[in-house]
Amino acid sequence: MKRVLAHRIEIYPNNKVITYFVNCFGVSRFAYNWALEFCKKSLTDKGKVPSGYGLSKYLNAIKREQYPWMYDVSKWVVQKSLYNLAEAFQRFFKKTSRFPRFKKRGRCRDSFYTGVGCFKVEGRRIRLPNIGWVRMSQSLRFPGKPLSVVVSRTAGKYFASIQVEVEDAYEYSHICESQASVGIDLGIKDLAVLSTGEKFSNPRALRYYEMKLKRLQRQLSRKKKGSKNRLKARLNLSRLHYRIRNIRQGYIHKLTSYLVKNFALIGIEDLNTSGMMKNHKLSKSIADASFYEIKRQLVYKSLLSGSHIEVIGRFYPSSKMCSVCGFKKEDLTLSDREWYCEGCGLVHDRDINAARNILRVAVGQAETINACGDFARPSSLWIWRGLKKQEGGGSC
């Protein structure tokens, strides 16, 4: 199975290479802004803008006379920015994203692209155009055909994200050898509660560093704009944000890898994260939990591990419905962590009961997929055994 995998590796450039990187970041940003201004002027009533090839062709005609400094960097730096803008307009016309905006220095992601044939990877070093070899923190994990590399800067550190086309992607993933199924209920107190009864606590990385984050933001606001002290304060703040992101991402990666490795069928709710963020009392905790990131990682990791993800509708009453008798408790509130079922007389843990309901619906959806689908119909024997084992004969 051929797939394209990416490996993000930290690199250690010297001062000369850093200067070249900064020039590439600036040229990429300028090309994007120039193309956006050009598209705004040429935007027709029918909603048509030049393609990436058209923008590149027009810029090449005037580049030597008006922007000769663009030749100091690789051609891929400019071309990729133009094609990125063309893709942004396509998403806007499809109403999947908003209108493209200009990139401002210091407020956008600093990165540039290099295509196939213009770079080389050997061991723990990478050869980039116009600068030569640069040390990497580790060697490339995926042997195959390198397609592209994106050099980026985050919190004063530089990274190279290398895309490689591999022949057998299963060799570099967690292969699921189990036939078990599981339902997952995501929350704030416990990040994930499984239908098996397992609970994964929420690391709350943002909450842990909240006071330090406020202090660094206050220090940054007091520095004079344009001063070196302001640059130092901004770097300290970005480093803390980078640490928070690493804690959150590391925990989610461990959680999702565990799930796709041990369960063949995974049921998860389609949460309305953007709508939940409108609740000002819970928005910070919801953003810190990263529900969408958990779903995104589960989806792409399941393609490599052989697991299957079933997404349950967001309006399904998983918390209010009894997983044993089907009784629905209409007056259940968010503060009720345990509730008594009037139908069968059991006391349910809110999260575990929701996870079991999600599992039941996920199994039902998976059984309806025919042989032409992405997931082979599971055996009713192991589904029945999994449900009986998790329900424990009716006890919660």
In the residue annotation, 336 being an active-site residue is answered as no
Catalytic residue from among 110, 185, 288, 310: 185
Pairing of strands 199-201, 190-194: antiparallel
- At residue 33's C-alpha, the angle toward residues 29 and 34, to 5°, is 115
Residues 148/114, Cβ–Cβ less than 8 Å: yes
Q: Could you give the CA distance from residue 167 to residue 395 in angstroms, rounded to a whole number? A: 47
Contacts for 179 with CB less than 8 Å, ≥ 6 apart: 264, 378, 379, 382
SS3 of residue 128 by DSSP:
strand
SS3 of residue 110 by DSSP:
coil
Written as one string, the DSSP assignment of 138-160 is S--SS-SEEEEEEEEEETTEEEE
In the residue annotation, 185 being an active-site residue is answered as yes
Q: Could you give the CA distance from residue 148 to residue 385 in angstroms, rounded to a whole number? A: 46
Residues 341/325, Cβ–Cβ less than 8 Å: yes
- Tokens of residue 102, six digits: 């200009």
Q: How many CB atoms within 10 Å of residue 217?
A: 12
Query: Which amino acid is located at 196 in the chain?
Result: T
- Residue where the block lists tokens 């980026």: 152
Contacts for 380 with CB less than 8 Å, ≥ 6 apart: 367
**Measured torsion, CA atoms of residues 366, 368, 372, 374, in degrees rounded to the nearest 10:** -20
Q: Give the number of C-alpha atoms closer than 13 A to the C-alpha of residue 114, restricted to the C-beta side.
A: 24
Q: Could you give the CA distance from residue 216 to residue 230 in angstroms, rounded to a whole number? A: 11
SS3 of residue 75 by DSSP:
helix
- Tokens of residue 358, six digits: 């999600």
Query: In whole angstroms, how large is the CA radius of gyration of the chain?
Result: 25
Catalytic residue from among 110, 288, 310, 351: 351
321: which DSSP letter? B
Catalytic residue from among 167, 177, 269, 331: 269
328: which DSSP letter? B
Residues paired with 5 in a beta bridge: 164
In the residue annotation, 168 being an active-site residue is answered as no
- Give the residue numbers annotated as catalytic, written as ranges: 185, 269, 351
